[in-house]
Amino acid sequence: MVGKKAIGIDLGTTYSCVAVWQHEQVEIIPNEQGNRTTPSCVSFNEVGRLVGESAKNQMNMNPTNTVYDAKRLIGRRFNDTKLQEDMKLWPFKVIKGTNDIPKIVVDYNGEKEFFAEEISSMVLVKLKQVAEAYLGETVTDAVITVPAYFDDSQRQATIDAGLAAGLNVLQIINEPTAAAITYGFDMKTDITHDTNVLIFDLGGGTLDVSIVTINNNGKITVKAVTGDTHLGGQDFDNAMVEHFMMQFNQKHKTDMSVNIKAMGRLRVGCEKAKRALSSTTEITIEIDVLHEGIDFSMEITRAKFEDLNEDLFSKCIQLVEKCLVDAEMNKTEVNEVVLVGGSTRIPKIQELLSDFFNGKELSKNIQSDEAVAYGAAVLTAKLSGENSQKVKNLVLLDVVPLSLGVSIRDGSSSVIIKRNSPIPVKQERIYVTSVDNQSAITFDVYQGERSRAIDNDWLGKFQVAVPVEVKGKSRVNVVFEVDVNGILNCSAEELTSGLKKKIRISNDKQRLSKEEIEKMMKDAEKYKLDDEENIKKLLAHNVLEEYIYDVKAKIKSIGSIDNTKIPKEELEKMENAITSANQILDLHKLVDVDNYEKTLNELEKVCVPIIGQLV
């Protein structure tokens, strides 16, 4: 049954979730700890590579080698203004790689550099393994979700991460659209009118606002999307970290910002406080020996947290207003406001949303942390030919999040595909030479809403040769085509000679080459072998540790029964053997399996005969 099941993956900024369609329903797959979401976190230490729960636990003690927020790096360029702002807050190092692609530097068997796609692929491998353990079979196909406001390059980079993880990406789907599928599945089938639903998806790193219309036949039409790929729970944490750092520095006349480990511990404390403030009105953050031997203890109220993030919360509502304008819809026409993403648990966010919609009760029917993965799993069922009538009826009409066009001679942006156009979509436009004796026309492709092309996001460029003529005579027909993944393909034809040129812009935007992706896939396989070896070592380590514990417990129990005592010389012999065995029980420096087994055998040779005589 190899590769029979396809999975839906919500690859989140802070947490990820994986789901599968089976037994006529969606099942959210728990990880090995039994949790239904897994931290999007990778840590590197002497033991090896850790992913998920174990990696997040390393954030305090190993901050410079514990990587999170890869989603904020993926598909971006190093000189991106927002990326530069984020870098000031990350404890791990980010450098400028070739072609302006950012690379993450960690200390792992010597200094190593990773693309954000590689870190994301490690998280995807973890989710793949979790799904395979749950299903008992190999998984190769997946639908992966992305923020609706991810640009062309970020979408292609996410597909590259999937490939490096050994996954065949059936489709990329927008996160709020996936949540709309989940909501649609939960709707009553006897509804006869169309329902306008605003999906407010606020996660750890991104905000997406979408307006969709759902009918009782399962058709989901996206009317408009807007959002911010740098607005989420992490930003709310950042405001708290900044506030407490300044308070601490002023009080103790120091500069905690230079202490990476202290900043990491403070961040963890702030994240926990933020979560707690959703259910309580005040909390005290206490951290022992935070910086320069000084303990940290400061109180924060919910009101202060809201004050620190007032501008960010207001921005969330502004994006809701923008989405309504784009959908040409009045807020009174919105039937339901659906909350998705962990950050929607913040009471102030809920209050502002409800007030904006004139006191409307917000829909919390779907699980905010799982809704996106749920919808992705439904889509996998649809793409895999599932026979369920509800799945077969599903029809998705998604949209292009940002306008696509080219720069023209005066520097303005000539839009070819308007934002919120339904996808897949194909549009074309004719351009002519602008000067006499021009031998080629160069097209710089941009994505965004600004009137000046240079103010938008540059995706790449291509050039088309034209016959040398007076200006305006040679013409080129440029064709833009956006596929179901939201990825742009361009082609152009010189209309006089009929010469055609095709280009996939996503590969032209200084992204990873085919060779780099292949290397990532080989590295992923290598890491898989390393992980398997570390698991064997850990098992052998744990067997030895458990045996030592059992021997100590047996010694104690023997001494408490009928005054039975182990002779002093025998007791010393066992204690010496246990002390010797304990010396290799260091989780930070795992040894070979043979060493553990040899130590266990030697310990058994000493302890078994002695205990056997007394039991």
- Indicate which residue of 69, 151, 201, 370 is catalytic: 201
Cα–Cα distance, 405 to 415 (Å, whole number): 4
User: Catalytic residue at 10?
Assistant: yes
H or E segment and range at residue 555: helix 514-559
Q: Decide: 543 and 600 in contact? Cβ < 8 Å.
A: yes
User: Catalytic residue at 71?
Assistant: yes
Q: Decide: 226 and 186 in contact? Cβ < 8 Å.
A: no
- Indicate which residue of 69, 151, 152, 175 is catalytic: 175
User: Catalytic residue at 398?
Assistant: no
Q: Decide: 356 and 337 in contact? Cβ < 8 Å.
A: no
Q: Give the distance, in angstroms, between the CA of residue 250 and the centroid of all CA atoms in the same chain.
A: 36
- Indicate which residue of 5, 10, 118, 370 is catalytic: 10
- Residue the block writes with tokens 């099942």: 27
Number of CB atoms found within 10 A of residue 13's CB: 23
For 329-367, give one letter per residue: b (16+ CB within 10 A) or e.
beeeebbbbbbbbbbbbbebbbebbeebbeebebbeebe
Number of CB atoms found within 10 A of residue 222's CB: 25
- Indicate which residue of 5, 56, 71, 537 is catalytic: 71
Q: Give the distance, in angstroms, between the CA of residue 447 and the centroid of all CA atoms in the same chain.
A: 23
Cα–Cα distance, 352 to 344 (Å, whole number): 11
H or E segment and range at residue 51: strand 49-51
Phi-psi region of 293 (alpha: psi -120 to 50; beta: other; left: phi over 0): left
Identify the CA nearest to 456 among candidates 510, 407, 399.
Answer: 407
Instruction: Quote the radius of gyration of the chain (alpha carbons, Å).
Output: 29
- Biggest CA–CA distance in the chain, Å, is 111
Number of CB atoms found within 10 A of residue 418's CB: 15
Q: Decide: 488 and 445 in contact? Cβ < 8 Å.
A: yes
User: Catalytic residue at 201?
Assistant: yes
| Catalytic site positions | 10, 71, 175, 201
